[in-house]
Structure 1
Amino acid sequence: MIIARLIADPETLGDNLSLAMEMIEARDWEVAGAGMLDICDDVLELEVVEGNPVGIRKILDQCFPESDLLLSDGLIEVPNLFVSDMDSTMIGQECIDELADFAGLKDRIAAITERAMQGELDFESALRERVGLLKDLPEAAITQCLDERIRPMPGARTLVSTLKSRGCHTVLVTGGFHSFADPVAELLGFDRVVGNRLGLHEGVLTGGLVGGIVDSSVKKKVLLEETERLGGEVFSLATGDGANDIPMIEAASYGIAYRAKPKARAAADGWIDRGDLTSVLSLLGIARQDWVFD
């Protein structure tokens, strides 16, 4: 049984649902049920017997543009583990791009960032190249950048707080830097932070990094290690937006791409293209009255 939950434009929902059901049944897949969730009345749930997940996803993507979607091959459960990317997922900025602005290098560094997120450049090489361009930038610029530029994505704190209220362990894992990730994690309520460390000497950036690189393989490793540590039957949720998040998204029980680059979106079990991060809670079947607003 494949279960699809989606949030779409209510004005066109009925017509688009009829079209989607016709297209599904044209492939000899049976729609066993279709209706709005009682506890989340903006969420449509479809149950399809013996369908092909890739094919169903393609149909729903075609019939419901700019929707929020989660597709599962079984009952959808509230996760025990939540692992998320930071830049452009939990916060609305790319920290290294904003920091580069203080060095007058934003356009140059942002172009490298974009290509890395699209999967066109090796992540580690792109990261080291960008960090190298920040050499001699004062450490005080990090604090100023945090205060003036870095803001949580809408719904980020409610998402984390609500999942934690359900006993979910939360981890912020980023290819960015602890200098930003630690304050962001504290603000949003994450239990653990994994990130890169900028080299500093006498109050200025050295242009290098300290310790190992947090890349796509490390993100996936963190998710798998936390899953093993929790033990038992663990349902994991991963969110991200770029190519560096793909292995983590694919390894999770539910991988959701948040306003993501095409490659990350294509790798995920679902996406958030329409709403904010609280849409994840609705897709998981958590009623709004049970959300935690801090």
Structure 2
Amino acid sequence: MNAATEFAPGLVVQANATLHPLSHYKLIAFDMDSTLINIECVDEIADAAGRKAEVAAITEAAMQGLITDYKESLRQRVALLKGVTVQHMEQVFAERLRLNPGAQELVAAAKTAGLTTLLVSGGFTFFADRVKARLGIDLARSNRLEVQDGQLTGRMLDQAWGDICDGAEKRRTLLEVASLMGIDPAQAIAVGDGANDLPMMGVAGLSVAFHAKPAVRAQAKVAINEGGLDRLLEVLR
């Protein structure tokens, strides 16, 4: 673990971190669940099937890094969602999903500074596409749930780039977008909270942990432990 200093209350910066103004960066990539939004969507969907505790335990273990095969852990959780209706997912979005404090402000500041914004999630397109639209994010990549007759089948659909958006896919996506933009990954910021965010955080010039698991806080250059996402702007002036 690198030595760290408290830049301000609840805002920790690694001693070896080189910080630049926001406009120095060209790309910012966000995790979604528990980063841009207040919930883990898979856990809330599972609530309809009476399996929230079981699914949430797997989610927590995966986010802590205790489960190393994220793809298999996600398949296990999605299998437990079989029979949940699209109507219930609509209710989760309308009644439970909220943007985390500071999300709108940070995305708006990034766009004003000329950064491309990217949402890259191990969650689901049903929610990711709506969060993308609500925040005006440029690009999004996530997982697609299979639906038949208005109900989840317990499976996910393959997509053109592969089967599941896990930590390796998050990393690959950040690098792919940076390459298409013609920028160095050092000009990217990656923001997340769980172990599956570490691969993309590891290749970005600036890694940011938001109310994150201990292993993620330990490796991030900036850790926001109190307050909203817009606290990142305090260190990027």
TM-score, normalised with respect to structure 1: 0.74
| Per-residue CA distance 1:67-124 (angstroms, 9 max, x = gap) | 3436565451322100010000000100011111111111111111000101111211
Q: Which runs of 4+ in 1 moved over 6 A?
A: none
Amino acid at match of 1:208: R
Q: How does 1:273-284 map to 2 (within 5 A)?
A: 273-284=225-236
3-state SS of paired residue (2:34)? coil
Kindly indicate whether residue 32 of structure 2 is the aligned counterpart of residue 86 of structure 1.
yes
Corresponding residue pairs, total: 229
Match of 1:66 in 2: 10
1:185-227 CA deviation, whole Å, 9 max, x = no partner?
1111111110000011111100000011000000001111111
Question: Match for residue 76 of structure 1?
Answer: 20
Partner amino acid for 2:193? D
Answer whether contact 1:85 1:173 (CA < 8 A) is retained. Answer: yes
Alpha carbons of structure 1 residues 72 and 191: separation in structure 2 relative to 1, 3 Å = farther
Once the two structures are aligned, what percentage of the paired residues are identical? 41
Higher relative contact order (CA 8 A, sep 6+): 2
Separation in 2, partners of 1:165, 1:219: 24
Distance 2:50 2:40 in 1: 15
Where does residue 245 of structure 1 map in the other structure?
197
Structure 1 residue 130: Cα displacement: 0.6
Tell me the distance in 2 between the aligned counterparts of 1:228 and 1:186: 24
For residue 223 of structure 1, what is the aligned residue in structure 2?
174
Greater gyration radius: 1
Q: Is the 8 A contact 2:11 2:222 kept in 1?
A: no
Whether the aligned pair in 2 keeps the contact of 1:177 and 1:196 (CA below 8 Å) is: yes
In 2, distance between residues paired with 1:120 and 1:73? 27
Q: TM-score, length-normalised on structure 2?
A: 0.91
Q: Is the 8 A contact 1:77 1:284 kept in 2?
A: yes
Of stretches 74-83 and 251-260 in structure 1, the one that deviates more from structure 2 is: 74-83
Aligned AA (1:196):
N
Q: 1:164 is matched with which residue?
A: 111
Query: Which residue identity is paired with 1:262?
Result: P
Residue 54 (str. 1) matches residue 2 (str. 2): yes
In the other structure, the counterpart of 1:265 is 217
Q: How far has the Cα of 1:137 moved from its partner?
A: 1.1
**Structure 1 match to 2:64:** 118
> Residues 72 and 254 of structure 1 are in contact (CA less than 8 Å); yes or no, is this contact kept in structure 2?
no
Question: Which structure 2 segments of 5+ residues have no match?
Answer: none
Q: Give 1:232 deviation, angstroms.
A: 4.2
Q: Which residues of 2 match residues 1-294 of structure 1 at below 5 A?
A: 54-55=2-3, 57=4, 60=5, 66-69=10-13, 73-74=17-18, 76-78=20-22, 79-121=25-67, 122-211=69-158, 212-232=163-183, 235-285=187-237
Distance 1:64 1:283, change over 3 A: closer
Cα pair 2:143 2:157 within 8 Å, conserved:
yes
SS at match of 1:54: coil
CA contact (8 A) 1:68 1:275 kept: no
Corresponding letter in the other structure for 1:230: M
Matched-pair contact (CA < 8 Å) for 1:256–1:272: yes
> How far off is 1:66 after superposition?
3.3
What RMSD in Å do the two structures reach over aligned CA positions? Answer: 1.8
Structure 1: tracts of 5 or more residues without a match: 1-52, 286-294
What amino acid sits opposite 1:228 in the alignment?
A: S
Match of 1:109, SS? helix
Residues 151-203 of structure 1 show CA distances to partners (whole Å, capped at 9, x for unaligned) of 00001011101100111000000000000111111111111110000011111
Alpha-carbon separation, structure 2, partners of 1:66 and 1:157: 20
